[in-house]
Amino acid sequence: MAVPVGTGLVSSISRRYIMPDVVDTVYRSNVVTFRLLSQSKKIVQGGTQIEVPAMYQAFTNGGPYQGYQLLDVAPNDTVKNLAFDWKQQYVPVSIDRLSLIKLNSPEAVANGIGLLFAQAQMQMADNLGTGIFSDAVTNALQIDGIKGAVDAGTVTTVYGGLTRSTNTWLNSTVDSSTTTLTGASLQSLFMNATEGGRAPTLIVSRAMQYNRLHALGLATDKQTFPSAAGGQDTQLASVGFTNLLYNNTPWVVDSHVPDGSNSSNSDIYMLNEDYFQLVVNPMADFYLEDFQTPVNQDAMVAKILWAGNLVIMNTQRQAKMTAITA
């Protein structure tokens, strides 16, 4: 028997049966998005902007002493706040009433609009992946992404509201001169991004740079599933992300990595995810709003909404190569 299909029913079916799959697919869409959403996601309730503290220098006092020696206990100014705007992403989902008329049961509706949401989830995954690697300069509405964060003032002169020329501790290690990938150049960049036990936890590029690493013979095949410090490569393997290990750190391919100085070759990023936070607001954490009927169309439309930003609290411990072409 045919049943009336309205916006309430479509919204209910979409939230209950389809959106969980959409969110799961977005989480697993590309490797950097997956890592951030699975281990660096932070829910923030609100505020006019996102603020996080960053330690920019060590204490200037403290050290050895003896007996009744006077101790310097003056306060130390070692923290500055980074401030970021809320950034938003959306994907619309719409269906006309004639299509709903043909889908005359809740089961048929669920099957019919499933394809629409499959397209929406792919678009949202691509949008987030692009945003996570953006510079937020080319498009100020974009996420404050890795391209702008991992920099020394060439791409972005300001990060988190602070100027890099004045706050040089915001500068990352950038190799913009090496054009041929070698073991020596990789090791130099890796060690510049390493401090004590804090080393890069993820290396990411597009496929051409990944293939160059493979050709050098410096990497270990991930298929052995080792559990290595800083790598968490078993997590990557469990969801199907192919990777090679360099210095016990997984090197992965992400198609969203931006071009280097040569448009046919990507940057190579060495990232320490311990300092990453993907801040998300609970009111727009892949939230599906109610389907609504436009006043001038016989159709229904809703939007999948996301609001947040990417925050890197220690950009000094990040590095990139921008000129590798061979």
What's the CATH number where 215 sits? 3.90.1690
How many structural domains compose the chain? 1
| pLDDT at residue 199 tops 80 | yes
* Domain-embedded: residue 225: yes
Mode of pairing for the β-strands spanning 202-205 and 249-253: parallel
The highest-confidence range among 15-24, 49-58, 103-112, by mean pLDDT, is 49-58
Backbone angles phi, psi at 86, to 5 degrees: -70, 135
Q: What is the pLDDT of residue 253?
A: 92
> When comparing pLDDT for 149 and 73, which is higher?
149
> When comparing pLDDT for 69 and 101, which is higher?
69
Name the percent of the chain lying above pLDDT 70. Answer: 85
Instruction: Give me the chain's average pLDDT, please.
Output: 85
Mean pLDDT lowest for which of 136-140, 244-248, 269-273, 311-315?
Answer: 244-248
| pLDDT at residue 173 tops 80 | yes
* Domain-embedded: residue 141: yes
How does residue 234 score in pLDDT terms, banded at 50, 70 and 90? low
d(CA 31, CA 28): 7
> When comparing pLDDT for 231 and 174, which is higher?
174
* Domain-embedded: residue 68: no
d(CA 67, CA 64): 11
Q: What is the pLDDT of residue 99?
A: 82
The β-bridge partners of 252 are 204, 243
| pLDDT at residue 238 tops 80 | no
Kindly write down the DSSP assignment for every residue of 63-121, as one continuous string: ----TT----------EEEEEE--EEEEEEEEEEHHHHHH--SHHHHHHHHHHHHHHHH
How does residue 231 score in pLDDT terms, banded at 50, 70 and 90? very low
Q: What is the pLDDT of residue 98?
A: 85
* Domain-embedded: residue 2: no
The highest-confidence range among 3-12, 56-65, 119-128, 267-276, by mean pLDDT, is 267-276
Q: What is the pLDDT of residue 101?
A: 78
Q: What is the pLDDT of residue 1?
A: 36
Q: What is the pLDDT of residues 275-314, one digit of tens each?
A: 999 999 999 988 888 888 888 988 888 888 999 999 999 9
How does residue 2 score in pLDDT terms, banded at 50, 70 and 90? very low
* Domain-embedded: residue 70: no
Kindly write down the DSSP assignment for every residue of 246-308, as one continuous string: ETTEEEEE-TTPPB-SSTTSB-EEEE-GGGEEEEEEEEEEEEEPPPB--TTSSEEEEEEEEEE
Closest CA to 206 of 32, 34, 40: 32
Query: Which range of residues forms the domain containing residue 23?
Result: 7-55+81-321
How does residue 172 score in pLDDT terms, banded at 50, 70 and 90? very high
How does residue 61 score in pLDDT terms, banded at 50, 70 and 90? confident
d(CA 206, CA 101): 45
Mean pLDDT of 29-57: 86
Residue pointed to by tokens 């209910």: 12
* Domain-embedded: residue 243: yes
Mean pLDDT of 183-203: 93
- Element housing 19 (H / E): helix 19-27
> When comparing pLDDT for 123 and 257, which is higher?
257
Angle at 274 between CA 132 and CA 187, to 5 degrees: 90
* Domain-embedded: residue 65: no
* Domain-embedded: residue 219: yes
Q: Are 245 and 220 in contact (CB under 8 A)?
A: yes
Name the percent of the chain lying above pLDDT 90. Answer: 51
Mean pLDDT of 31-47: 87
Q: Are 164 and 172 in contact (CB under 8 A)?
A: no
Mode of pairing for the β-strands spanning 299-312 and 87-96: antiparallel
